[in-house]
Amino acid sequence: MTAICESGVLGCQVIKGGMSKEEFLAFIYKLGNFYEFNKSRKKIIIFLDNATAHKAKLVTSNLEQKITLIYNASYSPMLNPIEEFFSKFKNLIKKLPTSTDFELLESIQLSLNMFKTKDFEGFMRHTLSFIPDVLNFIDFI
């Protein structure tokens, strides 16, 4: 699991296998505690894809009081900057040793450190470039 913003990675957690709703909720709470969401006067908005864990009642009922959850339109990965992040992230990891769990974790950390602020700004800018077409209902297929 990874959370990003326009300036970098907010948090990353490696989970073997699929992510459960409990793990996702715990991840968001850890981010909240680290960034002190409760003390912030800013409105916190989290943009999510439509993964089952993201929409689980356990998650929505616990988070909607504190955070605004916005879900991406189905079949619209071009509108989600995390998709570009993961594409680049996976390519970076593939170039490093990953034959053991330790090597994989080390490669993940090294890859995360290769990102620069300009990468995240680019992910956001590229995603926003699709908005006019979406508003005009242009088909991307």
pLDDT in tens, 73-93: 888 889 999 999 999 999 999
Least confident of 4-13, 56-65, 95-104, 105-114: 56-65
Confidence of residue 139 (pLDDT cuts 50, 70, 90): low
E strand or H helix at 82, and its extent? helix 81-94
| Per-residue H/E/C for 34-69 | HHCCCCCCCCCEEEECCCHHHHCHHHHHHHCCCCEE
Class of residue 12 by CB neighbours under 10 A (exposed 0-12, middle 13-18, buried 19+): middle
Class of residue 92 by CB neighbours under 10 A (exposed 0-12, middle 13-18, buried 19+): middle
Helix 81-94 / helix 117-128 crossing angle, nearest 10 deg = 140
CATH architecture of 2-135: 2-Layer Sandwich (3.30)
- Other C-beta atoms closer than 10 Å to the C-beta of 68 total 11
Confidence of residue 14 (pLDDT cuts 50, 70, 90): very high
Domain ranges, ordered by start, for the chain: 2-135
Confidence of residue 100 (pLDDT cuts 50, 70, 90): very high
pLDDT at residue number 66: 79
Confidence of residue 13 (pLDDT cuts 50, 70, 90): very high
